[in-house]
Amino acid sequence: MNIMLFHSTYGLRPAVHQAADRLRAAGHEVWTPDLFEGRTFETVEEGMDFNDRIGKDELLKRAVLAAAPYSERGLVYAGFSLGASIAQTLALGDERARGLLLLHGTSDIAANASVDDLPVQLHVAEPDPFETDDWLSAWYLQMGRAGADVEVYRYAGAGHVYTDPDLPDYDEEAAEATWRVALGFLDTL
């Protein structure tokens, strides 16, 4: 599978490279574009401030430019938190998308979004301050109406970006469970 993996608001940190290596070891080709052009952050607040200065449109432009050379291959879009939001936007706009793997995040869905049984898997903490229960319920229904085939996995007690071993949110048990399920999902695509 060809996977475009987008980083979180922390930037392209070692955990993203480790995730890409894990995916490559499972036989996938993976690209990890750096949407922050080398900047990384120690706190979510610093990353969000930088993200706000760049702006959503510029980040999406960078993501589209990163994915464009590979999209004809039929990409699986994937991402962590902010990167998941970007991956979702790109996948819903790419008729060749093979799947969508969301780790720790979702995004708004355009009212006219339409896909043909796009396989989607979401892994998120429970509770998650950025992905509330009400938001996730509405998101799930909207994705279904758009034509996506959605699976949601919740991890009780885990922090927001619980797959990054260098962050306080890290939860080894939840992270390993996430990767086990996610790799199985990718094998079905």
**Angstrom distance (rounded) from CA 158 to CA 171:** 6
- The pLDDT, as a whole number, for residue 143 is 97
Average pLDDT of span 72-98: 97
Radius of gyration of the chain from its Cα atoms, rounded to whole angstroms:
15
- The pLDDT, as a whole number, for residue 26 is 98
Q: What is the mean pLDDT of the chain?
A: 96
> Where does the pLDDT of residue 111 fall: very low under 50, low under 70, confident under 90, or very high at 90 and above?
confident
pLDDT of 10 above 90 = yes
> Where does the pLDDT of residue 39 fall: very low under 50, low under 70, confident under 90, or very high at 90 and above?
very high
DSSP 3-state of 116: coil
The domains found in the chain, sorted by start residue, are 2-188 (3.40.50.1820)
- The pLDDT, as a whole number, for residue 48 is 94
